Copies of this chain bind each other. A is one copy, B any other.
Amino acid sequence: MLNGTSILGTKRSATTGEGFYGINPATGEQLQPAFFSASAEDVDTAARLADAAFSSYSKLSNSRRAAFLRSIADALLKASREIIERAHLETALPVPRLEGELARTANQLRLFAEVVEEGSWVNARIDTADPERKPLPKPDIRSVLQPLGPVAVFGASNFPLAFSVAGGDSASALAAGCPVVVKAHPAHPGTSELVGTVIRECVATAGLHEGTFSLLFDSGIEVGSRLVQHPLIKAVGFTGSLKAGRALMDLCASRPEPIPCYAEMSSTNPVFVLPGALKEHDKIAADLTASYTLGAGQFCTKPGLVFLPPQDETSGLVEEMRRRAASLPAFTMLTAGIAAQYKRGIAQQTQANGARVVAAPDTIFGTAAALLEADAEDILKNPALTEEIFGPTTLLVRYQSREQMLRIAESLQGHLTATLLGTEEDLAGHQDLIAILERKVGRIIFNGYPTGVEVCHSMVHGGPYPATSESKSTSVGTLAVYRFARPVCYQNIPQPVLPEALRDSNQLGLLRMVNGQISRDAI
């Protein structure tokens, strides 16, 4: 079934060079077949094919583009047994989790299909002419979003389906009208090839240009680095580490023609426990523990920092969290590299940064949950304590006063989320904290947990640097499509030549802004 080579439109790359393998993280077993890193020529071929596909794919009708997205969703579900089996081998993620993730992947594609089919997302704006205006006649001006061009997408290790080959970045770029070149994550190459094959077949069935989709393999960083520097690539979508994300950002910014790089990178997702929450400390301990250890803590939205009121009030909560952490079995991490990085992170926090271990059955040599604590003043002095550690750990910090808590909030760097736990009265009494958090994060949660990111119209899975490279964007939810389009303006262009979205007749039935008023009316 799997052949281990990159997908270049309808062609496959050669099996040259040394192969690399998927690894079963539960057993360390090497999985067949070998995968082969794409060559410089393969990267160039994929980018050229994507560019060649752009002129037709970008002009595809809304209904055909929507049907194409839905066909991928259907085909993924049809191939689910095979995909999930391989994904389970490559990631050791539990099958129910992978089933949920595949359903989410299909739902994302269908939600974007709905957005594309309805069509109004293109922000059509029309200001009609006024030949009588003084001192100068007013021209007819119209604008509409147009796709940017070929997009490079990087598969993420922690979402082998929902943020990999057919994941949110690919779905939103394809929805916007951009061909996609995916760089597969080397931790799940077989899953990537299976999904890539599904998309390639959907491209063929829909009669689209073969360059609409390509998939490149690489065991290292060279292919990705070449890809984002290719002059025909016009935007980048990435989910991964701060180090890799910043490297891509810098590559994109230093190109002769800089391009937007949407990197979702690093977030510790602070949780503020407000005094009223302590009445329910056992429930909060249970829910917080479930959230920071969900998926072995390998979520971008894992709550990795928990701020607690002064000690005497919170001992019940801490004790219960300790008890729960201590009783958890060891986790299987996604890759040996992530496991090693996790252990280094815990060691760094406890040895160099002064965090204390509250519970860690096997912290240094295993991959158990690690519950740490630190003093508020230490956090303020050493912001490294607030940096993300990818894995099942969280850091408890007791603040001594409300003023100190606000100072800590002010000192935070950008995160994807912040969570407040407490009563409605607590919340109403902490508007100052909320105002600070509105500058620090993309999503503020009350009496919930940041893991579990709803895919909907209002979701913001983004946030100020270093959470993402671009706080104005989101990588989850329908707003993600806006990352891959830009407005183009048409002045005095006759009706038949205008994009359909801008014609007087409004046959697409779009919601448009006409002379400042929103309507679906024809002109």
Contact = CB atoms under 8 A, between A and B. Distances in A.
A136 B490 CA distance: 46
B443 A494 contact: no
Given A59-B435, A434-B497, A492 B447 contact: yes
Interface in A428-483: 428, 431, 434-435, 438-439, 441-448, 452, 454, 456-460, 462, 464-466, 469-472, 474, 479
Contacts of A126: 458
A489 B444 contact: yes
A268 interface: no
A487 B469 CA distance: 14
A487 B468 CA distance: 13
B59 A442 contact: no
Nearest to A429: B497
Given A443-B488, A487-B479, A456 B141 contact: yes
A249 interface: yes
B488 A258 contact: no
A132 interface: no
With a 10 A CB-CB cut-off, give which of A452, A489, A518 has the most chain B CB atoms. A489
A94 to B, nearest CB: 14
A516 B457 CA distance: 7
A431 B497 contact: yes
A458 B127 contact: yes
Contacts of A487: 442, 460, 462, 472, 474, 479
A142 interface: yes
A428 B496 contact: yes
Given A148-B471, A446-B491, A446-B492, A460 B249 contact: no
Contact of A457 (B127, B459, B493): B127
A139 B143 CA distance: 35
Nearest to A118: B516
A250 interface: yes
Given A125-B457, A143-B458, A516-B457, A488 B442 contact: yes
A142 B458 contact: yes
Interface in A201-259: 249-250, 253-254, 257-258
Contacts of A125: 457-458, 479
With a 10 A CB-CB cut-off, give which of A459, A485, A518 has the most chain B CB atoms. A459
A455 B510 CA distance: 24
Interface residues of A, number: 78
A448 B516 contact: no
Number of copies: 2
Contact of A55 (B141, B435, B447): B435
B469 A258 contact: yes
A275 interface: no
A357 interface: no
A427 B497 contact: yes
Contacts of A486: 442, 462, 471-472
Given A253-B249, A511-B518, A491 B435 contact: no
A323 interface: no
Nearest to A499: B438
A364 interface: no
A33 interface: no
A245 to B, nearest CB: 11
A146 interface: yes
A228 to B, nearest CB: 14
A141 B458 contact: yes
A444 to B, nearest CB: 5
A498 B222 CA distance: 46
A146 B427 contact: no
Nearest to A434: B497
A260 interface: yes
Nearest to A145: B472
A442 to B, nearest CB: 6
Nearest to A487: B460
Given A143-B458, A143-B479, 11 more contacts: A126-B458, A142-B458, A143-B460, A249-B253, A250-B254, A258-B465, A258-B469, A431-B497, A442-B488, A443-B488, A460-B488
23 contacts: A59-B435, A126-B458, A127-B454, A127-B456, A141-B454, A141-B458, A143-B460, A149-B439, A249-B253, A442-B488, A443-B488, A445-B491, A446-B493, A447-B492, A448-B491, A448-B492, A457-B513, A458-B489, A460-B488, A460-B489, A471-B486, A472-B487, A474-B487
Interface of A: 54-55, 59, 100, 114, 120, 125-127, 135-136, 138-139, 141-143, 146, 148-149, 249-250, 253-254, 257-258, 260, 413-414, 424, 427-428, 431, 434-435, 438-439, 441-448, 452, 454, 456-460, 462, 464-466, 469-472, 474, 479, 485-494, 496-497, 511, 513, 515-516, 518
Closest 4 CB pairs of A and B: A253-B253, A460-B489, A125-B458, A443-B489
